[in-house]
Amino acid sequence: MVDLHTDLIGVMWVLISYMLIMTILAPAWGRLADIHGRKRLYVGGLAIFTVGSLFCGLAADITQLIGFRIIQALGGSLLISNGTIIVADAFKRNELGRAMGIISMIAAAAFVFGPILGGILTIVDWRLNFFFNIPIGIAATWWAQKKLREPGEFSAKERFDTQGMIYFTIAFVTGMIYISVAFIVGWTSPPMLIALAVALISGIAFFRHEKRSPSPLIDLSLFSDRIFFYGQLSALINSVARGAVMILLILFFQGPKGCDPLTASILIIPAAAALAVAGPIGGWLSDHYGSREISTLGLIVSFAGLLGLATMQFDTPYPVLALWMFVNNFGSGLFQPPNTGAIMAAVRVDRRGAASSIRAFLNNAGMVISMAIATPLIMGTMPLEEMMDMFVLGGAVMPVAAQIAFTRGISLVFLISAAITMPAIIASAMRGKGDVRG
């Protein structure tokens, strides 16, 4: 933060801008994947992400970094939207749970080693976190171009829904502006009411247009399938519930606990280890017994973990926090692979791009909403200058009252997250038993 002459809000916008672009573009890339194929979009995403990483490493101030993160997000959104489709195309429908479990395990490994490596690189220079991506990105782009194959021919006869994309973008951006900014300038202030009105009008226009369009951006007919509808709904609610959890834990370890980035990254290993263990288990069980029971059980376990985290104090022993981190993410590991596998199995192969893009959009939207909920609750715990001092000088030098206030804000967010998980449990249980079994 000091090197870029910014504050915590600037750092949060680096994260939020990335997630916004990832969310807005997810439906577009999924739709284009069904029209033109997955490979060229995936390879293009790797190349753009690599170039974006180079620019981020060269950023001179926070404004440039946010702008270059947007470029990086263009590539990242292509990867997220198409990665799941490519894996799903390589497996039979009754093996999709196992496939999603493998993805979960790989993601968990990256979740463990990525932050640790990032912490080590940050000690030297934070820019190395971006430069490190460049040789890997170049190699991955070359490999994907040489090795990936399309599952079939794509006629490209359907048209891309540009008008729907415009409505969708306006609705989402203005809606997120209202959710994330209104707490600062006032929920009923004229600019915020205008943003809310634009979001509602453009949102209504989007849904009316999608129902009439012969080639819609988001195929609303997919939601007529019970498993698809409740799978996507439970995924959205779960994303809102837990989207900010890991970031808040890292802020807790680096703030009140005064840990450096490397130590904070090491301390969240139990969360990633739980995902690595539970993901393949959840995927395998769902292939044999269906997604409803396993996904719902996973959400119940995650709910228990969030309740445990909500009891944390600024002086809670680390083993207790590690236990609740493990429980929370073990539940997520049980939920995500079966749920994603069921969603992908519920649609035809030529609609997997749409299904995956909707899943990616809802997941990213949930995370953005989660951060929008958490940010005002955390920012309101103490004056901004004191919060900056806590992260720059270390929480140990701050008054105990400040540490307690900041931790209570995080605990409140965890309690709200637990409450939000309850309707996700209900939605998951309502999906029915129509899964493909092994």
* Concatenated DSSP letters of 136-156: HHHHHHHHHHHH---SS----
Count of other CB atoms within 10 angstroms of residue 124: 9
Sign of CA dihedral 30, 113, 312, 248: negative
What's the one-letter identity of residue 1? M
In this prediction the pTM is 0.81
Rounded Cα gap, residues 311 and 326, in angstroms: 15
Instruction: Give the best-scoring range by mean pLDDT among 76-80, 99-103, 119-123, 259-263.
Output: 76-80
pLDDT in tens, 339-396: 888 888 888 877 777 888 888 888 888 887 888 888 888 877 777 677 776 766 666 6
Query: What residues have CB less than 8 Å from 296, skipping those under 6 apart?
Result: 425, 428, 429
- Pick 294 or 261 by higher pLDDT: 294
What's the one-letter identity of residue 195? A
Fold of 8-161+213-429: Growth Hormone; Chain: A; (1.20.1250)
pLDDT in tens, 236-282: 999 999 888 888 898 888 888 888 777 888 898 898 888 888 888 88
* Banded model confidence at residue 438, pLDDT cuts 50, 70, 90: very low
pLDDT for 431 equals: 82
Rounded Cα gap, residues 238 and 101, in angstroms: 18
Degrees (nearest 5) of the Cα angle 265, 266, 272? 85
